[in-house]
Amino acid sequence: MALRFLRFNQGLAQDPTTRRWLHLQTKWKPSVSWFKTAEFHLNHHLFHSQMQSLLLTDMAHHHLAIAFIFLVGDHMYKTNFGIGHKMKDLLDAHIPPGLALDSLGVITSLVAQHMYSLSAYAFITQDFTTQVTLYTHHQYISGFIMSRAFAHGAIFFIRDYNPKHNEDKCIGKN
């Protein structure tokens, strides 16, 4: 069953939820360019109706954005250019890797949820076994990443946490 979305500039008058407030807009016209750009930002046209999946251009854009994030995050380590941090400083601090792994674990879990609800590969909605396998695969990855995040948090509380430093703060009160 393919999902059907009303076009933003055509379906507002027929939608029962927006029909209630549409009369308040005195100058409302469906051909205004704002509605066309709003439809573009809603990404309803990026869903291929025959293959029942996202377009390959969206997946390529997603991978390009992830590559850019990794390139920007690459400044963490000291290079020949003199920017970045020393490895000893990175190994001594366990809060940043713990928080980064925690964020990555949550993002991976969200990826699993979105891959299950909005299929990214062509014709995967007909193959339920593959869809559930991909969901389980990403949830396992998320669980492994989250366990590493909890390990970094435990190392911080055992080795680096100073209770005298945090007596008056919220973390020091029982």
| HEC per residue, 52-88 | CEECHHHHHHHHHHHHHHHHHHHHHECCCCCCCECHH
Confidence of residue 26 (pLDDT cuts 50, 70, 90): low
CB atoms within 10 A of CB 62: 13
> Each residue of 120-132: pLDDT tens digit?
777 777 888 888 8
The pLDDT score that the predictor gives to residue 6 is 47
Q: Where are the domains of the chain?
A: 28-76, 93-174
Rounded Cα–Cα distance for residues 162 and 146 (Å): 24
Phi, psi of 57 (to 5 degrees): -65, -35
Of 56-65, 93-102, 121-130, 133-142, highest mean pLDDT: 133-142
Query: Average pLDDT for residues 134-156, to the nearest whole number?
Result: 90
Mean pLDDT in residue range 139-154: 90
Look at residue 170 in the predicted model and tell me its pLDDT. Answer: 63
Average pLDDT over residues 52-60: 71
pLDDT at 45: 57
pLDDT confidence band for 61 (50 / 70 / 90): confident
pLDDT on residue 18: 52
C-alpha torsion sign, points 72, 75, 77, 78 = positive
- Residue 133, pLDDT above cutoff 80: yes
